[in-house]
Chain A
Amino acid sequence: MSLACQIEGKFPFFTTLGGGGLKGGLHTTGAKWFMIESQRHSYHLVDPSPWPISGSLGALATTVGGVMYMHSFQGGATLLSLGLIFILYTMLVWWRDVLRESTLEGHHTKAVQLGPRYGSILFIVSEVMFLFAFFWASSHSSLAPTVEIGGIWPPKGIGVLDPWEIPFLNTPILPSSGAAVTWAHHAILAKKEKRAVLALVATVSLALVSTGFQGMEYYQAPSNISDSIYGSTFFLATGFHGFHVIIGTLFLIICGIRQYLGHLTKEHHVGFEAAAWYWHFVDVVRLFPFVSIYWWGGI
């Protein structure tokens, strides 16, 4: 009994996940069943990489530069910009390396794919907690308004947006985009590569329209972030949601490009799945600010 069969016997998961047994051969885009030819195990022993330390230095420069900038120290803006450029550069080259390791070198076996899957789920859970804090702040401030704002919500003098205008218009756009990403997912599973590209183009287009309307809404908004606790909580919650929409859009654009290049297959599309989960998180979360901040908080 070969080692491969022993492992298969112990962990049927490795073979059941892909729906097939051991398949040899070097194909660049499909997932390996559970090990690549040059090693006797299914795990990815990564090469030494400079990106963790470059990312850390970027984060250090960003935080120190940010504090210096906000306190009007000389050179603060320069250090902040340098730090941000460093972080963006690190993100670019690190993810480039991951794509090379997974798509071109085939290191992401089914066992290895579990890592980014759990990672993505935990990341989204942490994002839920992050946004939850802002909705908590908003509810805390609006359910028992303080004496400083006259004990009423919204405070006097705050021009409240009509929830049934742009906010209501913007609310179904993200779920429609969510439908489009589901369409893309099924197209990938059905091996309809071109349809998947089209579906991702639809997803991203709807996302961009949504961001455009959000920008328009902010432009027309009669109040801003420095107008009482109403403005603070309103723009913090809706602004961070909008920021997450932009992150999700970038994620989906990358997936669209990779789908166009043929990186995503029926068996191996972890990056796409992570983007889709993230996107559903963003589109579902949109309903909370609409109901609690725009609608209830505005009357």
Chain B
Amino acid sequence: MAEIELKTAPADFRFPTTNQTRHCFTRYIEYHKCVAAKGEETPDCHKFAKYYRSLCPGEWVEKWNEQRANGTFPGPL
């Protein structure tokens, strides 16, 4: 039986509290800033996607994606 490796985002000194809401949000923004700067294709941005996907609840991500599509995303992109 193959071992499944479980990994989450590494600890980040900017977000030392138990509540990781801001960590999730920041990683989401970092991913989209990265994509905006380097394009969809580059693998450089993959790690940010992994981080925010492991940190953020799915419905938040859906909501934010929708807001970005409507131009009402509140974060600094």
Contacts and interface: CB of A to CB of B under 8 A. Distances in A.
Query: CB atoms of A and B under 8 A apart anywhere in the complex?
Result: yes
Interface of A: 147-152, 155-156
B77 to A, nearest CB: 9
Contacts of A152: 74-76
A156 B70 CA distance: 14
Interface in B40-77: 73-76
Contacts of B24: 147
Contacts of B73: 150
Interface residues of B, number: 9
A142 to B, nearest CB: 15
B33 interface: no
Interface of B: 21-22, 24-26, 73-76
Instruction: Tell me the dominant secondary structure on chain A's binding face.
Output: loop
Contacts of B21: 147
A12 to B, nearest CB: 60
Nearest to A155: B74
Nearest to B73: A150
21 contacts: A147-B21, A147-B22, A147-B24, A147-B25, A147-B75, A148-B74, A149-B74, A150-B73, A150-B74, A150-B75, A150-B76, A151-B22, A151-B25, A151-B26, A151-B75, A151-B76, A152-B74, A152-B75, A152-B76, A155-B74, A156-B74
The 4 closest A-B pairs by CB, nearest first: A150-B74, A150-B75, A147-B25, A147-B21
A151 B76 CA distance: 8
A156 to B, nearest CB: 6
Contacts of A150: 73-76
A155 B25 CA distance: 15
A138 B9 CA distance: 33
A137 to B, nearest CB: 20
B62 to A, nearest CB: 15
Nearest to B26: A151
